[in-house]
Amino acid sequence: MDIERELFNTWLENEHLQQVQLFPAKTTIVDPTEGTKRNTFMNPISIKALVMDFKPETLRWKFYGQIPMGSKQVICQKKYKVLFKLAKKIKIGTDYFKTWVDDQNGFGIMEREDYIVVILSFNGNNIKG
């Protein structure tokens, strides 16, 4: 736990961390026969995290082109793992993202010993999410 604290404090002191806003949402079924759903967004939760862009070669060799261009990789503390799973919309700067889900509905969250790595797919500048 001390390593995690030292790691993030070092990144914070060197101004490498960016503000990431997570928008959790409650999904309600509007019409059960058609299966339409509506998301009701709650107040955003701001966290500090290390944000990196994906390079084209990373997308091609590691993820086989499944993740759209413009996606990001976020490194943050382990305590935010549940928030990333609940967030239907994630804002970094002026762009909106969502937590990447693979074809088996598994989240793109890799848990390491002292932190987590979250893969965010580009959602465009869509305010509605």
CATH code: domain of residue 99: 2.40.10.270
- Determine the pLDDT at residue 45: 93
Note whether residue 89 is domain-resident: yes
Instruction: Look up tokens 């009701």; give the residue.
Output: 40
Q: Which domain does 12 fall in, by range?
A: 2-28+35-122
Task: Pick 38 or 64 by higher pLDDT.
Answer: 38
Note whether residue 42 is domain-resident: yes
Per-residue pLDDT band for 71 (boundaries 50, 70, 90) equals confident
pTM, two decimal places: 0.76
The CB density around residue 3, as the number of other CB atoms within 10 Å, is 10
Alpha carbons 26 and 38: distance in angstroms, whole number: 8
> Is the pLDDT reported for residue 82 higher than 60?
yes
The encoded tokens of residue 53 equal 């862009």
Note whether residue 15 is domain-resident: yes
Each residue of 101-120: pLDDT tens digit?
665 555 678 888 888 888 88
Closest C-alpha among 84, 76, 125 to residue 108: 84
- Determine the pLDDT at residue 14: 65
